[in-house]
Chain A
Amino acid sequence: MQTNEILENLKNAVIEGDDVKAVENAKAALAADMDPLQAMQLGLAKGTDVIGERFERGEAYLPELIMAGETFKAAMEILEPEIKRQQKDVEPLGTVVLTTVKGDLHSIGKNIVATMLETNGFTVVDLGVDQGALAIIEAAQKANAAAIALSALMSTTMPGQKEVIDALLELDMRDKYRVIVGGGPVTQAWADEIGADAFGADAVQAVELLKQLVKPTR
């Protein structure tokens, strides 16, 4: 197979959510002595770009994002060992610890943000739901995170976002992490009131804000 054909197949495999096609073409890329990093950037990543654009236009939804992400990962299981062997690791944009705060069990919005962050080059540590301030901060320390993203879907769980920021201040760690907040009842005014660095009105905006807030890690 020609290089261009392989790249096109990798891109389409991600768009279609076809793991089998993605793995086959990842193997074909290696067999053809293609640069594995290029296979990722010019093949797979182009597919996630298409899905991301469709998502922003309202033509694709979370299932398509997840399928694209899973297909991307399946192909990367083939390409990554070779990327490492050739010492061509791509710098991730940064590590984000992401969670829904204490007392809140809602997860869909958070999961959309997690998927979009990963497909945009972030490393995501997803703590799930109902997480308290100290557990979140501990996880951020352990992961050497650059940012903490906090979701709350009820007015009575929004205080959990403030608790994380207050705890960071009390522990003299506020400057270590950028904090972004979001969720149904959350507003810019609330984000300002509690001293968050940013408010993400939706998943797309959250990702763009984090790209601006976070510097690449080494």
Chain B
Amino acid sequence: MIDFLDVCERAEQGPLMTERDFEIKVFMPGLREVVKSYDVQYDRESPVPSDDAAADRVYEAAVDFLAKVGVYCKDTNRVIQFTEEEIRDAVASAPGECLTGEGKDASVFRVRKPDEKAMARCHVNWGTVHSSQEMAVDIMTANVAHPEAKAISISSVTNTLRGMRVKAGSPLEMYAGIRCIRVARDACRRAGRPGLPLMNLVPAAAAAVTTIGASAAQFGARPSDGWIIGIISENKLDYGAMNKVAYLLNWGANVGSQGAPSLGGYCGGPAGTAVVNTAYFLLGLVGMRADYHLCFPIHFRYGCCSTRDVLWLVSTSSQAGSRNIPLPVIWLGYMAAGVNTKMYFYEAAAYLLASTTSGADAVKMPTPAKGVKVDASTPMETKFGIEMVRAASKLDRQAANELVIKLLEKYESEIPTAPEGDRYQDCYDVRTAEPGEDYLRLYDEVKTELVAVGVPFD
């Protein structure tokens, strides 16, 4: 099997071409060809399909696609190529699990299969920004207190330091990167979960130098945590990403590849995006030596993951990966609507039903308000998410499909004008960290509605 030094060599010696040529002459035609030849077709009537053969064709299309196209290195302007044999070798050699966390909070992050009744792993909290450190700590502490929480995405805390806005690649980003790890460790300790793995390191860091610097052990990071290294959309890496991989491999820490293909961008529609999303699992294995993967295929126009076509590609790609690629994947969904809105819960329910029944190994609690509003997350969404994952884990794809169709009727037409919802301090008592009565009432109402459409809550 090839190793990471082979990948580094190919970044220096692969075919030379401009990025534009890679996009237009290699990526787009290569994808068009495999979508056609493997007959990958979007079915808008079945957002959660139950077609194993179709899922396997998406997997084969993804293997063929990655072998045809390779991955573009932006720093050397060369294409890193892999043979089909090397890709299949990486799949065959993958362990299918990784070890995360410490002590009583240690756990094995393993793969699941579609229709599997074991509960999907719950990954709590979000890498979002708050207006105060105290708020970030209160929310993280409440989120990780759930015994079902097996991992956390730590908050970026605030986007300022001493009144100065944190900028990518600046010294302030280094301070922010170190701070978010220390604050998260403190929050986990407060909740009695000191060994819980931090799996989205380092959220406050855009630059590689910040990620690597903030990850030094004296600031609190452990090799049993997990680092997210983004594949640049679409099908590209750079030396920043590869430097992070090199550092983590030398440390023996968990490498998390991340893919976020854009439905509507270079991938085209849902069929092409499903193939690319699946190819990113393979790229994580063969090109980045990933121990796990995090993905959020996203609609380019609406900036969310709850549209019908994205739900279809989430389900399809999850099935393709779960059935064929032994790499644990965290599925992250951005919802259009925000906190303290019924629409958020409809979207989150649909997303968790689609992903969980399609074999998602882990699901992150769906992010409100597309993840762009400051203070727009509360522990209520975590409580709901865990209850929803438990309910969804009882179902198969066919049952989930029927429920998702009913849920889409409730929110689909509202996506372009989704309500951005409240901030934490608008619907929670910030002193006691308890939800307000209005939010509790809305929560009860929406759960009653969901039970009425057939969601099997405990």
| Chain B associates with chain A | yes
B24 touches A156 (CB 8 A): no
Select the stretch in B246-254, B263-271, B316-324, B447-455 that faces chain A.
B263-271
* Contact of B265 (CB < 8 Å), options: A112, A157, A160: A112
Contact with A along B137-158 (1 / 0, CB 8 A): 0000000000000000000100
Known pairs A63-B32, A108-B262, A112-B265; A159 contacts B167 (CB<8 A) = yes
Decide if B265 touches A62 in the complex (CB within 8 Å).
yes
| Interfacial chain A residues near B268, Cβ < 8 Å | 61-64
**Given A103-B206, A106-B233, A156-B206, are A62 and B372 neighbors across the interface (CB < 8 Å)?**
no
Chain B positions 61 through 85: 1 when the CB is less than 8 Å from some CB of chain A, otherwise 0: 0000000000000100000000000
Residue-wise interface mask of A (189-218) relative to B, using a CB-CB cutoff of 8 A (1 in contact, 0 not): 000000000000011000000000000000
Question: A62-B268, A112-B300 given as contacts; is B165 within 8 A of A105 (CB)?
Answer: no
**Minimum C-beta distance from B264 to chain A (A):** 5
User: Which residues of A are found within 8 Å of B263, using beta-carbon distances?
Assistant: 61
In the assembled complex, A11 has its CB within 8 A of some CB on chain B: no
A81: interface (CB < 8 Å):
no
Known contacts being A62-B264, A156-B166, is A105 close to B24, with CB within 8 Å? no
Chain A residue nearest in CB terms to B169: A103
Chain A 66-108, CB-CB to B under 8 Å as 1, else 0, gives 1000100000000000000000000000000000001111111
Q: Are B300 and A155 in contact (CB under 8 A)?
A: no
Does B387 lie at the interface of the complex (its beta carbon under 8 Å from any beta carbon of A)?
no
Judge whether A50 is part of the interface by a CB distance below 8 angstroms: no
The answer, among B234, B266, B301, for a CB contact under 8 Å with A58, is: B301
Q: Is the CB of A154 within 8 A of B28?
A: no
- B299 closest partner in A (C-beta): A58
Hey, which chain A residues are within 8 Å of B207, CB to CB?
Answer: 103
The distance in angstroms between the C-alpha atoms of A203 and B262, with both chains bound, is 14
For residue B106, CB closer than 8 A to chain A, the reply is: no
The contact of A154 among B206, B265, B266, B303, by CB within 8 Å, is B206
Assess whether A156 is in contact with B204, with CB atoms less than 8 Å apart.
yes
Q: How many A-B Cβ pairs are below 8 Å? A: 79
B234 / chain A contacts, CB cutoff of 8 Å: 108
Return A162 CB to nearest CB of chain B, in Å.
8
Contact partner, B370, options A62, A63, A160, A184, Cβ 8 Å: A184
**A218 CB to nearest B CB, Å:** 30
Q: Is A121 located at the chain interface by the 8 A CB criterion?
A: no
Query: In this assembly, does A141 line the interface, its C-beta being within 8 Å of a C-beta of chain B?
Result: no
A141 to B206, CA, bound (A): 30
In the complex, what distance in Å separates the CA atom of A159 from the CA atom of B232? Answer: 21
Contacts of A103 in B (CB 8 A): 167-169, 206-207
Q: How many residues of B contact A (CB 8 A)?
A: 34
The A155-169 residues at the B interface (CB cut-off 8 A) are 155-157, 159-160, 162
Chain B: minimal CB distance from A190 (Å):
10
A51 nearest CB across to chain B (Å)? 13
B residues within 8 A CB of A104?
A: 168, 206
Minimum CB–CB distance from A69 to chain B (whole Å) comes to 10
Which interface class (under 10, 10 to 19, 20 to 34, 35 or more) fits A?
20 to 34
Residues of chain B lying within 8 A (CB to CB) of residue A58: 264, 301
| C-alpha spacing A128/B268, complex, angstroms | 21
**Interface pair A61/B265, CB less than 8 Å apart:** yes
Given A61-B264, A63-B266, A202-B301; A185-B372 close (CB under 8 Å): yes
Complex Cα gap A79–B24 (Å): 24
Query: Is B238 engaged at the interface, CB distance under 8 Å to the other chain?
Result: yes
B residues less than 8 Å from A64 (CB atoms) = 268
Q: Is the CB of A105 within 8 A of B264?
A: no
B159 within 8 A of partner (CB): yes
What separation, in Å, do the CA atoms of A160 and B32 have in the docked complex? 36
Residue B129 is within 8 A (CB to CB) of chain A in the complex: yes
Q: Are B300's CB and A105's CB within 8 A?
A: no
Q: A108 to B233, Cβ gap below 8 A?
A: yes
B159 touches A155 (CB 8 A): yes
In the bound assembly, the distance between CA atoms of A184 and B296 in angstroms comes to 14
> When chains A and B are docked, how far (Å) is the Cα of A156 from the Cα of B265?
23
Give Cα distance in the complex from A102 to B207, angstroms: 11
Question: Are A157 and B206 touching (Cβ within 8 A)?
Answer: yes
- What is the CA–CA distance of A105 and B229 in the complex, to the nearest angstrom? 13
CA distance A185 to B129 in the complex (A): 11
A115 to nearest B CB, angstroms?
A: 11
A174 to B169, CA, bound (A): 26
Quick check: B74 and A105 within 8 Å, CB to CB? yes
Complex: chain A residue closest to B233, CB-CB:
A108
CA distance A154 to B167 in the complex (A): 10
In the complex the two chains form, what is the Cα distance from A160 to B265 in whole Å? 24
State in angstroms the CA–CA spacing of A201 and B61 once bound together. 34
Chain A contacts to B: CB under 8 angstroms: 58, 61-64, 66, 70, 102-109, 111-112, 154-157, 159-160, 162, 184-185, 187, 202-203
12 sample A-B contacts, Cβ–Cβ < 8 Å, listed by A number: A62-B265, A62-B300, A70-B24, A103-B207, A106-B233, A108-B300, A155-B156, A156-B167, A159-B166, A160-B168, A184-B303, A185-B372
